């Protein structure tokens, strides 16, 4: 018996962790990026299934780990913001000093979610 297909919630983005440095990365039109503003947004099931195929291929190559679709809300400026707090934390980085480290580069994206 084939496993039941999981319902895809839309719109969605593909999120993963870089295998070498652990950064949260997003699939874009140019490949993986640490910038959530560049994430490619799937707005229909066909696009989401293409993102799932990208995830499967990237996992098979060992390019990333923990790749999965994340349902998002789109802000007025088009930035995809995960609906679940777990993924919002992954994107925002450590909350103790958001002005330091890798997450500081995207401080302009926080607080407007």
> 9 to each of 34, 52, 78, 80, 109, how far by Cα in Å?
23, 13, 18, 13, 23
Q: 104 lies in a domain? A: yes
43-59 pLDDT, tens digit each: 999 999 999 999 999 99
Q: List the domain range (segments joined by +) for residue 76.
A: 12-108
pLDDT tier for residue 113 given thresholds of 50, 70 and 90: very low
pLDDT tier for residue 104 given thresholds of 50, 70 and 90: confident
Is 38 in contact with 78 (CB distance < 8 Å)?
no
The number of domains in the chain is 1
Average pLDDT score over residue span 10-35: 95
Q: Where are the beta strands (DSSP E) in 1-76?
A: 12-18, 24-28, 31-33, 64-74
CB atoms within 10 A of CB 1: 3
Flag whether pLDDT at 112 surpasses 50: no
Q: 66 lies in a domain? A: yes
55-76 pLDDT, tens digit each: 999 999 999 999 999 999 999 9
């Amino acid at each position: 018996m084939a496993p039941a297909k999981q319902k895809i919630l839309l719109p969605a983005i593909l999120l993963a962790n870089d295998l070498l440095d652990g950064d949260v990365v997003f699939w874009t039109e140019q490949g993986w990026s640490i910038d959530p503003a560049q994430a490619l947004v799937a707005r229909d099931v066909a696009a989401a299934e293409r993102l799932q195929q990208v995830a499967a291929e990237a996992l098979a190559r060992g390019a990333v780990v923990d790749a999965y679709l994340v349902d998002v809300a789109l802000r007025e400026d088009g930035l995809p913001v995960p609906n679940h707090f777990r993924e919002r934390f992954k994107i925002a980085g450590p909350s103790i000093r958001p002005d330091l480290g890798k997450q500081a580069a995207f401080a302009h994206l926080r607080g407007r979610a």
